[in-house]
Amino acid sequence: MAGIVIDESRCVGCGLCVKTCPQGAIEIKDKKAHVGESCIACGMCLDSCKLGAISRMQEKGGEDLDSWKGILVAAEVWEGKLHNVTLELLCKAKELQSNSKCGISAFLMGKDVEKLAQELIDHGADTVYLCQDESLVYPTEEPWADALASVIEKARPEILLFGATEFGRSLAPRVAARLRTGLTADCTVLEIDKETGLLQQTRPAFGGNLMATIVCPNHRPQMATVRPGVFPMGQGEARQGTVVRLPVPALSGRVQVESAQPAPQSKTIADAQIIVAVGRGIGSQKNMQYAYELARLLGGQVGASRPLVDAGWAQYPMQVGQTGKTVAPKLYIACGISGAIQHLAGIGGAETIVAINTDPDAPIFQSAHYAIVGNCVEVLKEMIAQLQK
């Protein structure tokens, strides 16, 4: 693998690289710097050495990365229907395709799923790799990962996208491990770099305090997961495509699912069309009653920022943001929410954002369509009064 190398003939053991390494992977032994196994080759240490003793060693004898082409979307099916995130990823794949001129394909596996192949084609897939059998009733990670890895080795897609669902989050790392490539989870932005052609995968990092753009320059495919609702779904249109039938893999997984039942249906903020979300600016738990009343009058639901959930003022299922739910309502009313990066990452799909905050420089206003500078409790009271007239 590519890694960080110390030239001991130049190293004087000054320790600057030790202070720079975010992983704590460098230590001084016998007055020389040594790189440990925890190094992730991030390169943060390269510029710290004024003597040029640190360099990045590139892989030798690697495969031809130019032979990998196109985008593959791992389709997810539940209760006989394609998950919305699959169609959202196909829409994003078409956008990426316009910049890279590559083909789009989809991997579809399960029982009685052939009928869904045309829907994948209509939403952008040129080729659907179909693995269908009566035995594939319930999605299980091991056989799905084996089948998908086999397809990838033959089709050689440059980019592989998964939905960051419960199943997708379990499947994607298994596939990445089989292929010995990288995986970026919970991406909020996917773009093709015009100069390098690499997939730029952006996601909140370091507790949501900054946005990190990650690339995978030395391995293929470039893999990413994306939460439902982050990207628009787009409209399908009648298209022609190819369906490639695959052999059924042996169900050799350690876990066999014999039966499954859907959980009782309940409304969640992820499905809400109107959300009244509250942050620390609400002042007290008692004041949350105004958010609930406004949500009731509008026919919506109440959401919350992470600090309110951490404080015990709201339950975790109400949490909006990178560490909570990603939402895409028609109307999002942010009450007393400053607009931390991890929160904004969860509301990018909202059609209209109304932000209420006493701070005119609050980051939330940069993402809002309508900004109200003022005490959110007083504004909520006035909104309720107007709706009750």
Please indicate whether residue 287 or residue 252 has the higher confidence score (pLDDT). Answer: 287
* Cβ 346 vs Cβ 325: under 8 Å: yes
Asked whether the predicted pLDDT for residue 253 surpasses 70, the reply is no
What SS3 class is residue 318? Answer: helix
In 234-293, the DSSP E strands lie at 242-245, 274-278
**What's the average model confidence in pLDDT over 13-19?**
92
Chain Cα centroid distance, residue 293: 33
Give the C-alpha distances (Å, rounded to integers) separating 50 from 10, 13, 20, 45, 142.
Answer: 10, 12, 13, 11, 48
**What's the average model confidence in pLDDT over 50-79?**
79
Least confident of 21-30, 122-131, 257-266, 295-304: 257-266
**What's the average model confidence in pLDDT over 265-291?**
88
Q: What is the mean pLDDT of the chain?
A: 87
Asked whether the predicted pLDDT for residue 306 surpasses 80, the reply is yes
Q: What confidence tier does 1 reach under pLDDT thresholds 50, 70, 90?
A: very low
Cα separation, 289 vs 311, in Å, equals 16
In sequence order, the 6+-apart residues with CB closer than 8 A to the CB of 198 are: 192, 215, 216, 217, 222
Asked whether the predicted pLDDT for residue 248 surpasses 80, the reply is no
Domains of the chain with CATH codes: 3-57 (3.30.70.20), 65-245 (3.40.50.620), 274-388 (3.40.50.1220)
**What's the average model confidence in pLDDT over 21-40?**
89
**What's the average model confidence in pLDDT over 217-225?**
92
**What's the average model confidence in pLDDT over 115-141?**
87
